[in-house]
Structure 1
């Protein structure tokens, strides 16, 4: 009996070693049979294809084999056009399968099946394709640091619910992938299945969560040989119509344009946009910005979000610069005023080329051109107007070279250039970035060196460098980091940066559980120390100790608690708005606590409370965020979010006077309400609602003068009204119909307005009345985009 027990134990050890230490391999089968994507799998060729099975839990109980009642079987076919994937997802309780219908790229409360494909098998980047049990598609480009769901590929899928579970059938054209020119292809491959009601994820090839890197732990797909891929040329013409109405009047606009996608070869793609139209992109969340920096906006234009992972390397690319605010203001005399200053610059065209060679060299090139823009200036003495160029014809360029090696490491060169016609400011920024991992993905060394040059009235150069060492595996992990940024480092012509002229060090340590306990599904404790010192003065710019505890309970309710202590006197070198000046920032303690109830529930709630106490008389900040969401059924859901912040005795810059720099002590409140709703007619057709009301005020009660030592003293002579009251309203109601692959009809009604005042109104109902009585703008737009595959057109003729 004892011998038998030892023999069984040895068998299990060998089984686990084989299961977890070796990569699984799947053979793709060639087919000449036409595959109809209907979820029925009735083509004869499916019966003889190799099967991928024996899935293993990824989260939360990492390494646990899938239960026989949930077994999963996947097969892969291929021809000269695409690969085909079928998946049988067994479930002994098929009536409990979650299947909420959502918009594309929104996961929702659904079971999911996904395939991760790495055409170069280099452990660096996946092309990931997901489909939910409701038939909704999601896709992304994934690296170890980021999943880019703004990337959208053209592929086909169908889902069929059955008495034994559900079935997935997918067709992924080669045009949606990148791979080498080799006659025999070897791809990195993994499949993932998510069972939503149990909050469990399973993968075909085991992913060990003790190791930080996920992509190198994929299995292998072999068998794809001698494929002759078709020409990858896609045309996406569009036409749109806009009707806009406000108190000023009404206007009708018609637009037409073209997007082009061309596969230069199996590895490289050219994307071009001619006569762009971004009229239906998501609105920007305007705020009362009292900071010394510009407000950073999210990018919502598809051309600048899709497939831009290469261009985001090095942090030199902030795409909102292209077509953003003009770079200069006109010079005016005392008898002149600006009566027309465009807030944005029109984009004329843009093109990008990106891809990767079979030797792992990624190459990216992006070019965009914006038009000459003028402001109108009115002379009150002559009653005449003149125009002055505030942004010339401008050319933006990005070049990226990213060499991958050893399955998990890379070195990148990035250059960003902005050239403006005439005597306007030009700029160039260059970065060398490296990311090196040990073979076992247990330690990571990464860093950069960046150089900037600005050509203006007086040329100047700057640089930034950083080095980081991180332990990336096991329960205990740590990070050691150091950086230096020179005074004149400036990437703001095509990138964005706020803080320069300092050096700093950071140390981070963390502990996490790798498998569930009797209380927690996941748990992580994190400690961090950070210190930043301004280069010129040697004063502390930032210094904190932070501890964070976060995790999920067995019922899959999430919580997070954080405490941040700033025990040092620090100084702000930007708030004074004057070169060489700084202001004292008192010691402070901040904390927050948040929780989110299980998202599988029909009614869920997300709440966060925060509090900051300053070492200054009666100065504190507190606030909360609350967002209930109710899912009426698989088609209809509503979510409301309320965010409130109150700052008592806050201090900040307001003006300059004859005594110098004027600060104020003020009270501030910020209130934001968001309402979002979704009704899905089916998995191709949705109606969406997005509404936002934002109100904020700043009420000054004492003025102060900034001294040379950074401290503030009372200013009893300044008496200008610098109070602020700000209201913003946005409302979008849209209908979207994906009537064919890559082709969309969308109708949008938009209503928006903005009100600024120097008189604080604390009554919320009056603020609402004021914004709705202001000059609200109404826009109704219809847009049609149609995807044309050159091969389909060629075959027809």
Structure 2
């Protein structure tokens, strides 16, 4: 090959690298004039601002320049209080812009403009602010592969439709951001525009989808300097009232309290909650739980969902432990019974501090205290009552230290501590984590070591460790993982874990298209192999091969197909409910096929049939999930979800007796119905409906005794009725008005009922009636929260 050919190739490679590494820069300027956030952008000062333009398609056709008829121009200005963003979003057919009005943090069927800000420019975390063409705000804290929309900042925005497209104006106070205290600021910055009807997203700084990491591919915001930020001190007092009525009687409750947010400096924030009130949080989805483990519930309390990304590192924090169920049960005599056992422990107060230093050290600290809780026990001979402590005064602590470096890597230390007053169980868990990425974000090495120490009547310790390696860029990617968990590894005082005492190996390989092809906008196929071996016996606990295909068609329909094969028998070490015992699980094959039709249409529909076939006579599971949704207009929509599962000849634990551990062959049906409705009066005022009816039964027809080898033999003697019939109903109708930034008044009508029985009723109509004929509880509540900025009221006081 001629010499000049080599030189040409080197030049092309160099240009490619330079093109990839080049970041766009936007220069901003300080202002002294006031800007009114009205979506008009008519202040003279905007005419002098630099313009961010020439957007590039993010998906589906990555790298394609935006067309001139969809030109997007963005400007940024700043003062000592906030940054100001103005975006002109041109559209050659403004009448077709999608404008569904939704609740906050719900995207819906609307065009969206967003700004991504990284105050440390470290490629690790974005503060993202979205405004829809209907004027609805969405915001989140984003790390790679995670967006936390439970985080809600206080900021101002306005969107207006025009004859050339639409306009967005935003004011983002520094209180909503985190950045260093340097005199001259350099921030990571990107903008994204989504055109809903065309299913297209564009960004200002090009994000190459061949590279797995998104945040390091941001542009740069320059020009902010010598800002003197105001005191970040906010008070959110609240008051609420509840009226509850059921068959037993009625009651009225009044509450008042205060949330406090204080900016210790530009990087760190303190959040405190005094006299908590979570009466209007979303209800839990109760189920008929026949598993050997507790049911895991979602966290719906704002304090424990907002800005908790640091505390999620290492997986040691399950916030429902705080104020959850008591940790012990009282000891009772043969002539006693428990007449009152509280289902939850009251939270007294909670505080958290979190932020990140200029050198990339993230620090998070959370503390919560719960109240001493008693059970009431009655002596049936004397009718006297006594109380016994089932949860003492308890202190929960989380500490996280997370050091970021090289734009995209980190090492972390996490500690979770639970201290209970008196002789009750205490726990301490610590973790060391590392997450290393190559400079070009092509490869990732991640690992951890976790150590738990439990102090109870018999102290014990345990550990968990893992090492993971992945190729994270290109069409072909892979992921390799190995881990080991000791028998006594236990994080369940402040975390949650079900499976321990095993070691495993996992491999994943995938192929994806990076640009649209003839039939698909996106297409991905994954192959997975997983092996888990129980440490004590060396028996196979899990062993499966999985294939998953995910695709989105050119007309925005989504498809997903999965096939899972368990070619070897495995053993369940938890279903027997006795340490050292295990149950043989036969070979099996399972699959599902999911379809979701174009969500931009007024009527959309999704359905997912599934099945699992066991290598055991007559044992089969099959299910169907379907969900029609109709959007009547931009304000009103209704959706329905049906989830139905049948398990024929299922095997499960039912009891202990003199013969040993009793299992049953049983038939099960599980039916869940969810209805959701939304009527948006405007972008600040909505009426919402959520209703859920759940029914499930378990009917035993053969009993067995578990042998020491894990297999079952028939038991023709056991005859106790262990059938279960379970009904649950929840209904919420709410009105919410955000009458000022951060301030809300809400009205909620809620009714609910729960029924358990040992006689199976298979008639759905009869079940539905019985849940309403039971002890139906009705609750009406009103809550008022008001956001007070110290800087606004300080002169008044």
Counterpart for residue 274 of structure 1? 274
Counterpart for residue 472 of structure 2? 472
Cα distance change of structure 1 residues 14 and 63 upon mapping to structure 2, 3 Å threshold: farther
Structure-to-structure mapping, 1:49-64, within 5 angstroms: 49-64=49-64
Counterpart for residue 177 of structure 2? 177
Structure-to-structure mapping, 1:256-295, within 5 angstroms: 256-295=256-295
Q: Distance in 2 between matches of 1:108 and 1:12?
A: 43
Q: Distance in 2 between matches of 1:682 and 1:16?
A: 48
Q: Following superposition, which runs of at least 4 residues in structure 1 exceed 2 angstroms of deviation? A: 9-21
TM-score by length of structure 1 reads 0.98
Q: Distance in 1 between matches of 2:451 and 2:239?
A: 42
Counterpart for residue 5 of structure 2? none
Counterpart for residue 65 of structure 2? 65
Counterpart for residue 689 of structure 1? 689
Counterpart for residue 133 of structure 2? 133
Offset at residue 137 of structure 1 (A): 0.1
Counterpart for residue 239 of structure 1? 239
Offset at residue 445 of structure 1 (A): 0.2
Structure-to-structure mapping, 1:275-424, within 5 angstroms: 275-424=275-424
Structure 2 gap ranges (5+): 1-8
**Alpha-carbon contact 1:124-1:408 (below 8 Å) kept:** yes
SS at the partner of 1:721?
Answer: coil
Residues 596-619 of structure 1: CA distance to partner in whole angstroms, max 9, x if unpaired? 001000000111010000000010
SS at the partner of 1:314?
Answer: helix
**Alpha-carbon contact 1:205-1:219 (below 8 Å) kept:** yes
Offset at residue 796 of structure 1 (A): 4.2
Counterpart for residue 555 of structure 1? 555
Q: Distance in 2 between matches of 1:381 and 1:128?
A: 64
Q: Distance in 2 between matches of 1:184 and 1:359?
A: 15
Cα distance change of structure 1 residues 519 and 12 upon mapping to structure 2, 3 Å threshold: farther
**Alpha-carbon contact 1:751-1:779 (below 8 Å) kept:** yes
Q: Distance in 1 between matches of 2:46 and 2:187?
A: 21
Offset at residue 42 of structure 1 (A): 1.1
Residues 317-362 of structure 1: CA distance to partner in whole angstroms, max 9, x if unpaired? 0000000000000000000000000000000000000000000000
Offset at residue 17 of structure 1 (A): 7.4
Q: Distance in 1 between matches of 2:452 and 2:190?
A: 41
Q: Distance in 2 between matches of 1:79 and 1:165?
A: 28
SS at the partner of 1:186?
Answer: strand
Residues 719-751 of structure 1: CA distance to partner in whole angstroms, max 9, x if unpaired? 000000000000000000000000000000000
Offset at residue 15 of structure 1 (A): 9.6
Residues 427-447 of structure 1: CA distance to partner in whole angstroms, max 9, x if unpaired? 000000110000000000001
Counterpart for residue 660 of structure 1? 660
Counterpart for residue 208 of structure 1? 208
SS at the partner of 1:312?
Answer: helix
**Alpha-carbon contact 1:235-1:259 (below 8 Å) kept:** yes
Q: Distance in 2 between matches of 1:20 and 1:178?
A: 27
Counterpart for residue 119 of structure 1? 119
1:575 and 2:575 correspond: yes
Q: Distance in 1 between matches of 2:433 and 2:593?
A: 36
Q: Distance in 2 between matches of 1:13 and 1:158?
A: 45
Q: Distance in 2 between matches of 1:606 and 1:244?
A: 38
Counterpart for residue 742 of structure 2? 742
Counterpart for residue 447 of structure 1? 447
Q: Distance in 2 between matches of 1:794 and 1:468?
A: 52
Counterpart for residue 5 of structure 1? none
Residues 274-301 of structure 1: CA distance to partner in whole angstroms, max 9, x if unpaired? 0000000000000000000000000000
Counterpart for residue 520 of structure 1? 520
Offset at residue 628 of structure 1 (A): 0.2
SS at the partner of 1:213?
Answer: coil
Counterpart for residue 599 of structure 2? 599
Q: Distance in 1 between matches of 2:25 and 2:499?
A: 49
Offset at residue 145 of structure 1 (A): 2.4
Counterpart for residue 699 of structure 1? 699
Counterpart for residue 781 of structure 1? 781
Residues 520-565 of structure 1: CA distance to partner in whole angstroms, max 9, x if unpaired? 0000000000000000000000000000011101001000000000
Residues 21-69 of structure 1: CA distance to partner in whole angstroms, max 9, x if unpaired? 4100000111000010001111111000000000000000000000000
Question: How many equivalent pairs are there?
Answer: 789
Q: Distance in 1 between matches of 2:138 and 2:304?
A: 19
Cα distance change of structure 1 residues 672 and 716 upon mapping to structure 2, 3 Å threshold: same
Q: Distance in 2 between matches of 1:216 and 1:566?
A: 40
Cα distance change of structure 1 residues 10 and 573 upon mapping to structure 2, 3 Å threshold: closer
Q: Distance in 2 between matches of 1:159 and 1:12?
A: 44
1:35 and 2:53 correspond: no
1:589 and 2:589 correspond: yes
Counterpart for residue 3 of structure 1? none
Structure-to-structure mapping, 1:12-51, within 5 angstroms: 20-51=20-51
SS at the partner of 1:185?
Answer: strand
SS at the partner of 1:36?
Answer: coil
1:147 and 2:157 correspond: no
SS at the partner of 1:45?
Answer: helix
Q: Distance in 2 between matches of 1:21 and 1:514?
A: 19
Offset at residue 19 of structure 1 (A): 6.0
SS at the partner of 1:303?
Answer: helix
Q: Distance in 2 between matches of 1:371 and 1:168?
A: 47
SS at the partner of 1:769?
Answer: helix
Offset at residue 699 of structure 1 (A): 0.3
Q: Distance in 1 between matches of 2:611 and 2:605?
A: 20
Q: Distance in 2 between matches of 1:298 and 1:448?
A: 25
Q: Distance in 2 between matches of 1:18 and 1:411?
A: 29
SS at the partner of 2:326?
Answer: coil
SS at the partner of 2:311?
Answer: coil
Structure-to-structure mapping, 1:419-434, within 5 angstroms: 419-434=419-434
Structure 1 gap ranges (5+): 1-8
**Alpha-carbon contact 1:19-1:206 (below 8 Å) kept:** no
Q: Distance in 1 between matches of 2:605 and 2:424?
A: 51
Cα distance change of structure 1 residues 17 and 91 upon mapping to structure 2, 3 Å threshold: farther
Counterpart for residue 6 of structure 1? none
Cα distance change of structure 1 residues 413 and 423 upon mapping to structure 2, 3 Å threshold: same
**Alpha-carbon contact 1:242-1:779 (below 8 Å) kept:** yes
SS at the partner of 1:304?
Answer: helix
Offset at residue 20 of structure 1 (A): 4.7
**Alpha-carbon contact 1:533-1:540 (below 8 Å) kept:** yes
Q: Distance in 1 between matches of 2:268 and 2:675?
A: 41
Task: Give the root-mean-square deviation of aligned CA atoms.
Answer: 1.3
1:723 and 2:723 correspond: yes
1:196 and 2:193 correspond: no
Residues 363-419 of structure 1: CA distance to partner in whole angstroms, max 9, x if unpaired? 000000000000000001111000000000000000000000000000000000000
Q: Distance in 1 between matches of 2:560 and 2:21?
A: 34
Counterpart for residue 4 of structure 2? none
Residues 120-142 of structure 1: CA distance to partner in whole angstroms, max 9, x if unpaired? 00000000000000000000000
Q: Distance in 2 between matches of 1:500 and 1:10?
A: 53
Offset at residue 795 of structure 1 (A): 4.0
Q: Distance in 2 between matches of 1:694 and 1:229?
A: 52
SS at the partner of 1:224?
Answer: strand
Q: Distance in 2 between matches of 1:71 and 1:118?
A: 25
Q: Distance in 1 between matches of 2:398 and 2:69?
A: 52
Counterpart for residue 93 of structure 1? 93
